[in-house]
């Protein structure tokens, strides 16, 4: 009986200790995701009534993605979510680019809708066109781009 | 008992008879005390479990008016539905959104308001709020809490776990006591003996049905244990760490995190950063809208009835999860809140073999895997367990002498020690059982052994 005591204790305590928490890299033992990431490049300043070049660099597992099924820039003004400008982007050898027009001053949303290799991401930015009014500043606060009162039909 | 004793005296070898009788008594003693202590708990588990099995039907009845809406062709976007809830309950945090899964079903928005969580039912066709339910007051939640933790939080959870572990002891020792000592005997083993007097019948009405449902009972205990707080949690963690359980975040372990994109702003000279606005608004990325999340959910063919958990922290993720009636349809998907990128997409097929077993065990335990038949079998099990518990108490009550508990005497020789050793091993596998054993021994050593009257009463 005695010769089992020490190994028994060791095994028992190993089991108990390993049960304390889930290893932080335990997820590597299961299905691994291959998420896309996007680096969106927007102009430094946007003036009203201007057409701007929008660019996005798409990556997967730290490598450039050049075979995206579709890359679109969707642009709308915060107070007019039903008027969405859709610009199809094309690959220029390193990035996907498209042009979009910004008519008025105010806050715009720029949603980059990327479909590639079975993955779909849609990073969204808020940008200001020209000077911001106080009202615009206030509406910038909660950074959520929910399209309220937007009705769709099934 | 007399029956078995008579049979055993026929045995030629006197020594082995004494030993097997000793063993029988030792096991009987364990069965006796475990049964006595855990009878009320097992009865509670059987009754609450039997009710909880029919949760879908009962809730459909109870909340019919909240669940159902008139069919219309028009739909309101998910974010507009959530907005309607926010407008009605301005102080609330929106935690979850569960889309309507068919045209006659309302959608559900989970909110927390002043330390309570509520489910708000919204008509997806017009965004009108149908009504709200306080989650903690839902009948089925209360029954579940009773079943899982006796409505007593962690302490209750441990007691239920203890009862479940001891139920295994009861099943195993019971099977030993039931085991036919004579070959080719059916009566008293597989069918009760009705013509051998009331004492025999009372024994058979406990032992025979118990044999019939013992496998199912063991199954319910074993499938229930993985969700227990102490043993279950440790078991799940070991399984997850070994790569054979649920992937992390489904039961134990944390979810992946969203990459907080604000930091990018500093080294990128464009976008919001150049604006003269308070730094808190200079988030380059904004949260992906709930509408886009629902689109992604559809694209990934997640099973209907899924819930979206909305991130509450900057590093949080959107989590889509569905624990469907059938284990094979389960899914847990984590999405980066700023880009919608899939950080993890775990389906049943991605579970390790132990995770698959646990998941199937859960849906079978809950009676959802095979629909109504599954519920019915579960109900029969619950009735059976209640019956065995009651017939066991009845058996004890009938045999109990007036002056003591009627426990079998501690047998002489090694038998008790062998059984005790086996139970101790069991106590190591299930630490709560071990802990309860230590407490019983302390009680025995410091109290019972020192008070002759108590000692006599318990036949110690």
Per-residue pLDDT tens for B3-38?
444 444 444 455 666 667 788 888 888 898 889 889
pLDDT value at residue B451: 81
CA dist A137 and A73 (Å) reads 24
Looking at the DSSP assignment, which residues form a beta bridge with residue A54? A98
CA dist B215 and B210 (Å) reads 9
Q: List the 12-51 stretch of B: residues with Cβ below 8 A of A.
A: none
Query: How close is the nearest chain A Cα to the Cα of B345, in Å?
Result: 7
Closest CA to B355 of B257, B241, B254: B241
Q: Which pTM was predicted?
A: 0.84
Chain A positions in Cβ-Cβ contact with residue B83 (cut-off 8 Å): 146, 148
CA dist A52 and A78 (Å) reads 18
Per-residue pLDDT for A132 more than 80?
no
Q: Which residues of chain B have pLDDT under 70?
A: 1-19, 184, 261-284, 460
Residue A22 is nearest to which of B241, B287, B292, comparing CB atoms?
A: B241
> 10 Å Cβ neighbour count for A17?
9
Looking at the DSSP assignment, which residues form a beta bridge with residue A52? A100
B248 → chain A, closest CA residue? A27
> Quick one: B217 exposed, middle or buried, by C-beta within 10 A (0-12, 13-18, 19+)?
buried
Give pLDDT tens digits for B195-253.
Answer: 888 888 888 889 999 999 999 999 999 999 998 888 899 899 999 999 999 999 999 88
Chain A positions in Cβ-Cβ contact with residue B256 (cut-off 8 Å): 27
B297 → chain A, closest CA residue? A120
Query: How close is the nearest chain A Cα to the Cα of B299, in Å?
Result: 9
Q: List the 326-365 stretch of B: residues with Cβ below 8 A of A.
A: 336, 338-346, 350, 352
CA dist B180 and B355 (Å) reads 37
pLDDT value at residue B52: 96
pLDDT value at residue B53: 96
- Average pLDDT in the A103-126 region? 90
Residues 6+ apart with CB under 8 A from B185: none
Give the phi and the psi of residue B299 in degrees, each rounded to 5: -60, -35
pLDDT value at residue A122: 92
Mean pLDDT of chain B: 86
């Amino acid at each position: 009986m005695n010769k089992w005591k020490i190994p028994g204790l060791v095994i028992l305590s190993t089991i108990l200790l390993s049960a304390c928490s889930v290893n932080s890299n335990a997820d590597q033992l299961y299905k691994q995701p291959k998420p896309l990431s996007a680096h969106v490049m927007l102009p430094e300043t946007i003036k009203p009534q201007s057409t701007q070049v929008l660019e996005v660099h798409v990556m997967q597992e730290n490598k450039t993605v050049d075979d995206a099924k579709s890359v679109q820039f969707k642009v709308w003004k915060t107070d007019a979510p039903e008027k969405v400008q859709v610009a199809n982007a094309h690959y220029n050898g390193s990035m996907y680019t498209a042009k979009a027009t910004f008519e008025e001053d105010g806050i715009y949303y720029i949603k980059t809708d990327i479909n590639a290799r079975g993955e779909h991401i849609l990073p969204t930015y808020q940008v200001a066109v020209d000077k911001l009014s106080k009202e615009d500043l206030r509406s910038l606060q909660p950074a959520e781009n929910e399209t309220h009162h937007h009705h769709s039909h099934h | 008992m007399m029956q078995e004793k008579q049979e055993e005296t026929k045995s030629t070898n006197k020594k082995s008879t004494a030993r097997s009788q000793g063993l029988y008594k030792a096991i009987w003693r364990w069965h006796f005390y475990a049964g006595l202590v855990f009878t009320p708990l097992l009865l509670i588990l059987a009754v609450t479990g039997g009710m909880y099995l029919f949760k879908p039907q009962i809730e459909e009845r109870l909340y019919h008016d909240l669940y159902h809406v008139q069919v219309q062709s028009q739909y309101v976007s998910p974010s507009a539905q959530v907005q309607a809830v926010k407008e009605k309950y301005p102080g609330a945090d929106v935690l979850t959104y569960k889309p309507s899964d068919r045209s006659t079903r309302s959608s559900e928005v989970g909110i927390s308001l002043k330390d309570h969580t509520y489910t708000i039912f919204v008509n997806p066709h017009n965004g009108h709020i149908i009504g709200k339910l306080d989650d903690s007051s839902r009948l089925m939640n209360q029954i579940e809490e009773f079943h899982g933790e006796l409505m007593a939080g962690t302490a209750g959870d441990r007691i239920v776990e203890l009862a479940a572990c001891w139920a295994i002891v009861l099943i195993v020792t019971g099977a030993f006591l039931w085991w036919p000592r004579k070959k080719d005997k059916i009566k008293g083993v597989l069918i009760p003996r009705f013509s051998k007097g009331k004492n025999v019948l009372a024994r058979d009405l406990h032992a025979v049905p118990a044999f019939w449902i013992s496998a199912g009972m063991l199954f319910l205990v074993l499938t229930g244990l993985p969700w227990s707080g102490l043993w279950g949690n440790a078991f799940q963690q070991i399984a997850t760490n070994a790569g054979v359980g649920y992937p992390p975040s489904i039961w134990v372990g944390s979810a992946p995190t969203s990459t907080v994109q604000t930091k990018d702003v500093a080294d990128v000279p464009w976008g919001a950063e150049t604006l003269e606005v308070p730094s808190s608004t200079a988030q380059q990325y904004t949260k992906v809208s709930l509408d886009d999340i629902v689109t992604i959910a559809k694209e990934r063919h997640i099973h209907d009835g899924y819930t979206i958990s909305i991130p509450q922290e900057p590093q949080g993720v959107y989590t889509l999860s569905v624990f469907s009636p059938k284990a094979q349809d389960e899914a847990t998907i984590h999405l980066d809140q700023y880009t919608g990128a899939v950080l993890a997409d775990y389906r049943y097929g991605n579970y390790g073999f132990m995770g698959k077993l646990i998941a199937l065990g859960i849906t079978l335990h809950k009676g959802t895997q095979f629909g109504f038949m599954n519920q019915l079998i579960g109900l029969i099990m619950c009735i059976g367990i209640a019956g065995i518990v009651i017939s066991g108490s009845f058996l004890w009550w009938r045999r109990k002498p007036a002056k003591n508990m009627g426990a079998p005497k501690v047998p002489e020789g090694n038998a008790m020690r062998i059984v005790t050793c086996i139970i101790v091993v069991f106590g190591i596998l299930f630490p709560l059982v071990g802990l309860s054993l230590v407490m019983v021994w302390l009680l025995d050593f410091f109290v019972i052994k020192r008070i002759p009257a108590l000692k006599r009463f318990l036949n110690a």
